[in-house]
A and B are shown apart, each in its own frame.
Chain A
Amino acid sequence: MRNLVCRIGSGAGFAGDRVDPAIRLAASGEVDVIALECLAERTLLPALKARAVNPHMGYDPRLRRRLAPLLPVAHANSCKILTNLGQANPTEAGNEIIRLASDCGIRGLRVAVVHGDDVLSLADKIAWDRPITGTLVGAHAYLGVGPLAQAVAEGAHVVVTGRVADSALFAASAIAGLDFGETALAGALTLGHLLECSGQLTGGNFEPIGGELLSAGDYAKLGFPLAHVYSDGSAEISLLKDAPGRLDVETCTLQLLYEVHDPSHYATPDLVLDFTSVHFELLGRNHIGVHGAGSRGVPPTLKVSGFVEMPGWIADVEIGFAGTRALERARRAADVLRLRLAEWTESDLAIDLVGVDSVLRAGALPLLARPAELRLHVSARCSDLADAQIVEDEVYALTLSGPAGGCSLRSERRPRVEVVDGYIRASHVPTQVAWSTS
């Protein structure tokens, strides 16, 4: 006997994700909670920098763009919101949500802020995968469901946090209603993992055998998934009735194994999950049942992402070529640059032909026709900005002293950032829930 525990909508799969699908889910009245995943690895670094400049910043700068249209609709439909858009500053994100609620005329909105992921001050307790050679500018642990589920159980309308496991963010609202034991929890966490990438479960970033694409109109209005979670941890995933998309056993299986390494040992903060026994069942059009995830127990540690700034910059510079013999001229230009930039070692300099083999390199498909136009791209690790300027200037100098017709130039610099994985004992990471009300 299984009971319906709650109905969860996937409202965002990364910080820049579309805003409108979550509004459609909230407005439908068919979900009790919407989870918004807004914190990829890449997102945290600018947030940390923003917080260093202004202690009131460091949450997702898109907070108002995303929540101003969503919050009133969710509130009117008794739909909770769980999100990690607090990024590097959940407290200030919570304050901004209270201000937003007041601006929208919403009174009595209870906002819970979950703290604890920022473990930079505990750096001596973190075991890193490899030695850190640059400057460690941030260290954030992936929190589990505990504090999020507590906030939901205590009546939060909005839960906002920073780094948290995506599986936990999407499963937290179901925890209180699950049967006792690891099997039901494993099912809910597995569902959380399935929902965390929004449209990637429902036909986005998916090419079926045969290559038939969704129409542009369907991609443009792609529905995000929702799920009914049951007390035994099983679930049914679907799309809103009028939402375009494709939800089938193949889209679900690809998402189940997405960014998973050993499918029999997928570590989340709450359980190590075994996906090898998961079963998907097609229940109807865009309607999938899922059950059968296994558990291999509670892991002793939480994963930590460390952000390391390395000295120097990467220069990215491009130049275009077009017309008859564009490929020959671009290849010759690349050889010119190899001569002019001889001080750069092979491992610090990449010169690629965009449109030919710049992505897959030796694995690229053969060129069956000469490209009508293409771009030559240079990326170079540089010890300082003066060296980056040399790289730019050498590419631009091709327009006067290189093969004919070098055109359409662009140049950028990016700081050198590396992400290092580490582990910390969960018992070393205290979490707190702080409350405020509009």
Chain B
Amino acid sequence: MKLRVGDLAVGRAGDKGSVLDLTLVAHDEHSYELLVQRLDEHTVARLLRHSVPGPVRRYTVPALHAIKYVAPNALPGGVYASLHPGLHWQKAAIWLLLDLCIEGAEVNLPKEACEGRTNES
């Protein structure tokens, strides 16, 4: 069965200087544990590296069912130095996580695994 991360958790992206931070808050304990298990630091770093540079650090807050991914060099020079169209593209960066697809032990970008599913609307 394919699971979209955004069906298990709500999320929001933030930024400070060159640091991108992504927050997931799981809907319940079971979802939280699944996300902690599948979205480890290494997996998320591998998936994010297509879109943002640098390493990723993960923090978990079990009491709040929350997981943070912090990428300290993701926004080189801060948001004003970006060559993306318009300012603040990074506010959409949480969809890099919300649209990830979990299938068994695999986690993939939507292109590879969730095609046709996450675009239903």
List which B70-121 residues lie within 8 A (CB) of chain A.
70, 77-85, 87, 89, 91-93, 95-96, 99, 109-111, 115-116, 118-119, 121
B80 touches A418 (CB 8 A): yes
Q: Taking A362-B109, A363-B50, A379-B83 as contacts, is the C-beta distance between A208 and B10 under 8 angstroms?
A: yes
Cα A354 to Cα B16 in complex, Å, equals: 25
Whether A419 lies near B21 (C-beta < 8 A) is: no
B51 at the interface (CB under 8 A from A): yes
Is the Cβ of B10 less than 8 Å from the Cβ of A207? Answer: yes
10 contacts between A and B (CB under 8 A): A42-B87, A209-B27, A253-B65, A257-B25, A257-B64, A257-B68, A262-B59, A358-B85, A365-B99, A419-B78
Nearest-neighbour CB distance to chain A for B16, whole angstroms, equals 6
> Are B64 and A360 in contact, with the CB atoms below 8 A?
no
The residue that A258 contacts in the complex, of B14, B57, B63, with Cβ under 8 A, is: B14
Which chain B residues numbered 20 to 58 have a C-beta less than 8 Å away from chain A?
Answer: 21, 23, 25, 27, 47-48, 50-51, 57
Please state if B85 and A419 are interface contacts (CB–CB under 8 Å).
Answer: no
A209 in complex: contacting residue of B7, B47, B78, B95, CB < 8 Å: B7
Judged by a CB distance under 8 angstroms, whether A398 is at the interface is no
Residue among A207, A253, A254, A358 making CB contact with B84, cutoff 8 Å: A358
Within 8 A of B (CB), among A207-251: 207-209, 211, 250
| Known contacts A209-B6, A363-B96, A418-B78, A350 near B109 by CB under 8 Å | no
Q: Are B68 and A261 in contact (CB under 8 A)?
A: yes
B12 and A258 contacting across the interface, CB-CB below 8 Å:
yes
Nearest 7 Cβ contacts at the A-B interface: A362-B50, A259-B14, A350-B83, A379-B83, A377-B85, A363-B51, A419-B78
The smallest beta-carbon distance between B52 and chain A, in angstroms, is: 9
CA distance A42 to B88 in the complex (A): 11
Q: Interface of B with A (CB < 8 Å)?
A: 6-12, 14-17, 19, 21, 23, 25, 27, 47-48, 50-51, 57, 59, 61, 63-66, 68, 70, 77-85, 87, 89, 91-93, 95-96, 99, 109-111, 115-116, 118-119, 121
Taking a contact as CB atoms under 8 Å apart, the answer to whether B121 and A254 are in contact is no
Contact of B19 among A261, A263, A359 (CB under 8 A): A261
User: Chain B residue with minimal CB distance to A377?
Assistant: B85
**How many angstroms from the CA of A368 to the CA of B114 in the assembled complex?**
12
**Interchain CA distance A414-B82 in the complex, whole Å:** 11
Asked if A366 contacts B119 (CB within 8 A), the reply is yes
A315 to chain B, nearest CB (A): 10
- Which chain A residues border B65 with CB–CB below 8 Å? 253
Known: A261-B70, A366-B115, A419-B80. A209 touches B8 (CB 8 A): yes
Q: Across the interface, which residues of B come within 8 angstroms of A366, CB to CB?
A: 110-111, 115, 119
Whole-angstrom distance between the Cβ of A29 and the nearest chain B Cβ: 33
**Which of chain B's residues has its CB closest to A262's CB?**
B59
Among B16, B50, B87, B118, the residue within 8 A (CB) of A365 is: B118
Please, which residues of chain B bring their CB within 8 A of the CB of A211?
A: 121
Within 8 Å of chain B (Cβ to Cβ): is A256? Answer: yes
Quick one: CB contact mask for A395-424 with B, threshold 8 Å, 1 for yes? 000000000000000000010111111000
Asked if A205 contacts B99 (CB within 8 A), the reply is no
Other than the given A253-B66, A261-B16, A417-B80, 14 more pairs (CB < 8 A) read A42-B79, A250-B10, A254-B11, A256-B64, A257-B68, A314-B83, A316-B85, A349-B83, A359-B89, A363-B47, A379-B85, A414-B80, A418-B77, A418-B78
User: At the interface, yes or no: A332 with Cβ under 8 Å from chain B?
Assistant: no
Interface membership of A381, Cβ < 8 A: yes
Task: Let me know if A359 and B25 touch, CB within 8 A.
Answer: no
Is A41 in contact with chain B by the CB < 8 A criterion?
yes
Say whether A260 faces chain B, with CB atoms less than 8 Å apart: yes
Q: Are B84 and A379 in contact (CB under 8 A)?
A: yes
- In the complex where A209-B9, A258-B12 touch, is A368 in contact with B23 (Cβ < 8 A)? no
Chain A minimum-CB-distance residue to B121: A211
- Checking A209, A263, A354 against B10 with a beta-carbon cut-off of 8 angstroms, the contacting residue is A209
Residues in chain A near residue B95, CB distance under 8 A: 360, 363
Residue A325 lies at the interface, judged by CB distance under 8 Å to chain B: no
- Inter-chain CA distance A224–B93, complex, in Å, is 25
- Tell me, in angstroms, the Cα distance from A362 to B87 when the chains sit together: 19
Shortest distance between the CB of B26 and any CB in chain A (Å): 10
* Closest Cβ–Cβ distance, residue A290 to chain B (whole Å): 11
A32 at the interface (CB under 8 A from B): no
Interface centre among A41, A257, A416 (most CB of B within 10 A): A257
Interface centre among B66, B79, B95, by most chain A C-beta atoms within 10 angstroms, is B66
Q: Specify which chain A residues have a CB less than 8 angstroms from the CB of B115 in the assembled complex.
A: 366, 368
Q: Which residues of B contact A206 (CB under 8 A)?
A: 10, 12
Question: By the criterion CB–CB under 8 Å, are B64 and A253 in contact?
Answer: yes
From A51-59, A75-83, A112-120, A270-278, give the one contacting chain B: A270-278
Query: A279 near B: Cβ within 8 Å?
Result: yes
- Whether B83 and A259, one on each chain, are in contact in the complex, defined by CB atoms closer than 8 angstroms, is no
Determine how close the nearest CB of chain A comes to the CB of B43; give it in whole angstroms.
14
Residue in A258, A259, A263, A363 whose CB lies within 8 Å of B61: A263
